[in-house]
Amino acid sequence: MLLNNDRISIPQMTNILILTLIGIGILTLPRELAEVVKTDGWIVLIAGALITMGIAFLHGYIVKSFPGKSYFEIIALTLTKPVAYLLTTFFAIYLIGSNGFLLRIFAEVVKTILLRRTPLEAIIIIMLVPIGYLVRKGIEPMGRLTNIVFPTSVIFVILLFGLTLGEADFSKLKPVFQASPQQLFGALDIVLFSFLGYETLLVFGSFLKEPQKATRVGPIAVFAVLIFYLLLNIATLVNFDIYQMQHLIWPTLSIFKTIEFPGAFVENVEIVVMAVWVFTIFMTLAPFHLATTMLIEDMIIAKEHSYLVLPTLPFVYAVTLYSSSIADVYYDLGVFTDYTAYIAIIGMPVAILIGRAIRKLLKKDKENM
């Protein structure tokens, strides 16, 4: 079969974004919301999702306005080429750093739950190998893979969520509207971080078969993830006491320990959950690394991004070993995203739109002269 590595459909792009969004955040999101807003987490989730949908729409609008153009080319056309080199380098650093910290959290979870005697470095390398292989194949095979992973994950998620509600106490969802506006606003940062990943549309947008429909991709993906996060938050609240949740490192994994399959044909449901989660986190890390190599490819005018896959993996590996403990990983990731994420997802797109508007005005003035 011949591969068509430079074109993906709107549904495939939507699947990529959904799987990219549902990554590490699902492990700690219920606990972090419970610590700040108690049972009012659903309010923050909806508010954060609406904000994210608006930003994702802007990303899609940029892709729609420059069909077939790479992100580097879009920045060069609107903000000059020197600025394009600077911002594209910044975006690549953001992706590498995010990938490194997320991969470290993945390795810590796997080591704690499954492979306690396996060195952390071995787990990291084992994950980097298939990531490198998939990224070398390009965007189109990744899109086709999501056609398999996404529906399978949806079926498992619906089944598992249904089983967690067997002995649930829905009275634990009360009281509501108890958090102050300051607390709700403070928790927005947690939710916005959990929705990170949709910014890869800016890089992959040039490969869309129908770029004119790009504005719908991000909002649809965010809405789908919002439904998942709401179900996750409800499932954890109705199974654990609100104060108990605050002392669980990964409440999402803890909740699935409460599942008992009818007939007990599966004794350790946590293993099944971990298997599904490994596929999901793989589809978070791979698009980030693919986006990184594509950005570098555009900057150095390389023939193929595949030549850059292996040389960039050591940088990701170095970031994974930067922090000394799991607590430091979460702290360092928080600091890193605070300084880089908002520039990458808001600052750069807004600058592009402003630059585009200014160039249009200047062009119009020249035509009127």
Q: Where are the domains of the chain?
A: 10-364
Structure tokens at 266: 């599966």
Residue type, 267: E
- Picking from 176, 303, 168, the residue whose alpha carbon sits closest to that of residue 236 is 168
pLDDT single digits (tens) 162-189: 777 766 778 878 888 888 889 899 889 8
Residue % of the chain over a pLDDT of 90: 53
pLDDT at residue 88, rounded to an integer: 96
pLDDT single digits (tens) 266-287: 556 667 777 778 888 898 899 9
pLDDT at residue 1, rounded to an integer: 34
Structure tokens at 280: 């999901």
178 membership: H or E segment, kind and range: none
82 has a pLDDT exceeding 90: yes
Residue with tokens 């004794």: 267
Distance, in Å, from the CA atom of 304 to the CA atom of 308, rounded to the nearest integer, reads 8
Residue type, 283: M
Q: CB 137: neighbour CB atoms within 10 A? A: 17
- Picking from 168, 221, 184, the residue whose alpha carbon sits closest to that of residue 45 is 184
Task: Give me the DSSP letters along 149-186.
Answer: HHHHHHHHHHHHHHHHTTT--GGGG-S-S-S-HHHHHH
> In the predicted model, what is the mean pLDDT of residues 307-317?
94
Burial class of 51 by CB neighbour count within 10 A (0 to 12, 13 to 18, 19+):
middle
Q: What is the CATH number of domain 10-364?
A: 1.20.1740.10
Q: CB 338: neighbour CB atoms within 10 A? A: 11
**3-state class of 208 per DSSP?**
strand
Structure tokens at 204: 């992959």
